[in-house]
Structure 1
Amino acid sequence: MAVNNTTGRPRGRAAGCLQALLVPLIILGALVAYNAYKDNDSSSSSSPLPSSSSASQDEESGEWKVGDCGGPDPERSGDSYQALDCDDSGATFKALKIMDAAILPDSIQCPAGTDIIIQVSLTFGSSDSGIPNSTVCGRNLSGDHPGDAGAGGGQLVKGDCIDANAQEVACAQAGAEDYKVLDLTKTEAECPSGTTDPLKLTIAIGRPYDYICATAAA
């Protein structure tokens, strides 16, 4: 599907060079599982976050709170994470925002600066799968922040750069054929002034935007 350049286009670019049909879904960032285990033995059961005076979680509900930290769980398979004290040597991220659980990754839109997205699930027994409970938008505790606007990683956010196929690229490496994201909107009419290439995406249930409002990156 061609892209309508409603406000003109940069010199040297062909009209409609962003290819909408090549982007069935914009799913960026890692969707991983954090498992909390409960069983009938109260001495061995655990909540999604451990009780800790330095953590900001609700100790009654065990729910994640902004400012809580976590890291990889070496005892679980795959990309599993566990809650940790922020000064624990195994902690790798801090929660920027806590959102509702979601079955569809596209329905989660974390804020800029999110380096990792963690789907929190409550599991019972030894199962690796569970009931989605919440979503943690996490930021690395290290100096590596691919989720920052323009850095080239994480979810697509305002200030990022994309190539002609709407794939995110680091703005520092963007070339003459790449684009800067001015906004993400539901309609083309909502795109801000300066938009030269409004990209209409194919349908994705739950995604909070349908257009990438873009202009020349260089």
Structure 2
Amino acid sequence: MANPYEATPPPAPGRRGSKLPGLLVLVLLIAAVYGASQWLGKNDDKADAKPSASAPAPANSSKDPGNPESSSDTSSTWAVGDCGGPDPDNPPDGYRPRKCSASGATFKAIDIKDASILPGAIQCPPGTDLMIQVSMSYGSAKSGGIPTNTVCGRNLTGEHPGDAGAGGGQLVQGDCVTGQAQEVPCASGGSGTYKVLGLVKTKAECPSGTNKPMQLVMAVGRPYDVICAKG
């Protein structure tokens, strides 16, 4: 006969919910696998996808500098022998490549120099009438940009202020200057002008005949500091 006072032992602690942790682990595992598959799928899509917009190309980067329809003063394709003229879309100092036979061509490139941020560091050859800094710009910008080189240009027709003694362009041997080292045309300089015999670093380097050496204020990049002049 069963003991009416004998109590039935309670179930072991946690036995009733023993399936819950395992179920929770299974759910988490499935979620992790699903999440990983979604992540991998998205990365595969990104790997196969093409950019929605390509990087902007340099403005007016035509390889034909003689084509005025697709090139401007921001072109980096200048070469010796190329011609150019004023750019009506970028006045007053803008220039653009043009065919040498075009009516708008006013000068020809006689030399191409590297760009420099130092004033006076670029020295074009004698006969240079104008110097044009060429920059690489991006997007729709028509000015500024990254300097790439300098075009040394000579006028196709008319006067040549860059010739020795003509009074323009860079200072060269054979030019004339005032007592304040200002370049003037030799033909119309009058009294008080001096003929440039040389451009050197020190007065001791001036050639014979120099009677008016002019010590200039130091300028970073300029290849000379003294004008050897004769009155």
In the alignment, which residue of structure 2 is the partner of 1:180? 195
Structure with higher RCO (Cα < 8 A, 6+ apart): 1
Distance 1:131 1:110, change over 3 A: same
CA distance, structure 2, for counterparts of residue 129 and residue 52 of structure 1 = 22
2:106 corresponds to which of 70, 92, 97? 92
- Residue 71 of structure 1 deviates from its aligned partner by 0.7
How far apart in 1 are the matches of 2:107 and 2:63?
14
Query: By how many angstroms is 1:63 displaced?
Result: 2.9
Q: Offset at 1:173?
A: 1.2
Q: Which runs of 5+ in 2 are unaligned?
A: 1-53, 68-74
2:41 maps to what in 1?
none
Could you say which residue in structure 1 is the equivalent of 2:154? 139
Secondary structure of the residue aligned to 2:187 is helix
- How high is the TM-score relative to the length of structure 2? 0.68
**Could you say which residue in structure 2 is the equivalent of 1:189?**
204
**What amino acid maps onto 2:103 in structure 1?**
S
Work out whether 1:121 is the aligned partner of 2:135: yes
CA distance 1:49–1:209, change in 2 (3 Å):
farther
Q: Which runs of 5+ in 1 are unaligned?
A: 1-38, 54-60
Tell me how far apart the structure 2 counterparts of residues 145 and 210 of structure 1 sit (CA, whole Å): 26
* Alpha-carbon contact 2:59-2:139 (below 8 Å) kept: no
Structure 1 vs Structure 2 CA RMSD: 2.3
Alignment correspondent of 1:151: 166
Amino acid at match of 1:172: A
Return the letter of the residue paired with 2:215.
K
Could you tell me how far 1:73 is from its partner in structure 2?
1.1
- Asked if the contact 2:175/2:196 (under 8 Å) is kept, the reply is yes
Q: How many angstroms apart in 1 are the aligned matches of 2:122 and 2:107?
A: 18
| Structure 1 residue 108 displacement after superposition | 1.4
Between the two proteins, the alignment pairs up a number of residues equal to: 170
Kept after mapping to 1: 8 A contact 2:66/2:97 = no
Equivalent residues of 2:56, 2:139 under 8 A apart: no
Q: CA deviation at 1:164?
A: 1.1
Take 2:139 and 2:59, find their aligned partners in 1: how far apart are those partners?
A: 10
Distance across 1 between alignment mates of 2:65 and 2:85: 16
- Higher-Rg structure is 2
Cα deviations by residue, 1:107-148 (Å, 9 ceiling, x for unpaired): 111111111000000100122210000001100111211111
1:47 and 2:61 correspond: yes
What amino acid maps onto 1:46 in structure 2? N
Report the counterpart of residue 108 of structure 1 in structure 2: 122
The aligned amino acid for 1:144 is E
Larger helix proportion of the pair:
2
Give the superposition deviation at 1:45.
Answer: 5.6
TM-score (norm 1): 0.72
Q: Residue 185 of structure 2: which of 159, 170, 185 is its match? A: 170
Q: Which amino acid counterpart does residue 189 of structure 1 have in structure 2?
A: A
Where 1:189 maps in the other structure, the secondary structure is helix
Identity percentage over the alignment?
A: 59
CA contact (8 A) 2:213 2:229 kept: yes
Does the C-alpha gap of structure 1 residues 131 and 188 become closer, same or farther in structure 2, counting only changes over 3 Å? same
